[in-house]
């Protein structure tokens, strides 16, 4: 048994595979899906998503910045506007974004844009390590 995963943005299929496990973080926390999971719909947090290939050989890691996840009948759809595969992450760009956000937070601790930018950069840098 496996899960057919379709990871899509409004414009394209980002990734598609047969998986033995899919792990994402929703607004309620991290959740892992194994084959046979009950139907579920959730809002994705800014976090890593991991997809374990059905043959067990590879774990695909993505930085996911917003979107939805849905699973039913061993078919999982991850819909995200902004997501990057680990290998596609530009670390230097993420480090610059991280420094910029930290700088802005030193000036104003409650800067919501900077808090969000720092979170995106941190997730990108964390996921990039897995490339």
Q: Which span sits near ligand ATP by CB under 6 A: 31-39, 42-50, 67-75, 90-98?
A: 90-98
Please tell me whether residue 41 adopts helix, strand or coil conformation: strand
Applying CB under 6 A, among 78, 117, 118, 127 the residue interacting with ligand ATP is: 117
Applying CB under 6 A, among 17, 64, 89, 118 the residue interacting with ligand ATP is: 89
Distance between CA atoms of residues 88 and 68, nearest Å: 21
Distance between CA atoms of residues 64 and 50, nearest Å: 10
Q: Which span sits near ligand ATP by CB under 6 A: 17-25, 39-47, 52-60, 88-96?
A: 88-96
Applying CB under 6 A, among 97, 118, 123, 127 the residue interacting with ligand ATP is: 97
Applying CB under 6 A, among 41, 43, 72, 82 the residue interacting with ligand ATP is: 82
Distance between CA atoms of residues 69 and 80, nearest Å: 9
Segment 59-78, which members bind ligand ATP (CB under 6 A)? 65
Structural Rg of the chain based on CA atoms:
16
Distance between CA atoms of residues 111 and 129, nearest Å: 27
């Amino acid at each position: 048994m496996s899960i057919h995963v379709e990871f899509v943005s409004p414009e394209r299929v980002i990734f598609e595979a047969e998986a033995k496990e899919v792990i994402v973080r929703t607004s309620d926390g991290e959740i892992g899906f194994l084959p046979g999971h009950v139907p579920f719909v959730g809002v994705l947090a800014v976090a890593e998503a991991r997809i374990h290939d059905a043959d067990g050989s590879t774990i695909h890691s993505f930085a996911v910045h917003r979107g939805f996840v849905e699973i039913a009948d061993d078919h999982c759809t991850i819909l995200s506007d902004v997501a990057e595969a680990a290998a596609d992450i530009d670390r230097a760009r993420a480090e610059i974004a991280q420094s910029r956000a930290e700088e802005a937070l030193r000036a104003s601790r409650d800067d919501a844009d900077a808090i969000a930018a720092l979170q995106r950069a941190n997730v990108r840098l964390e996921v990039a390590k897995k490339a």
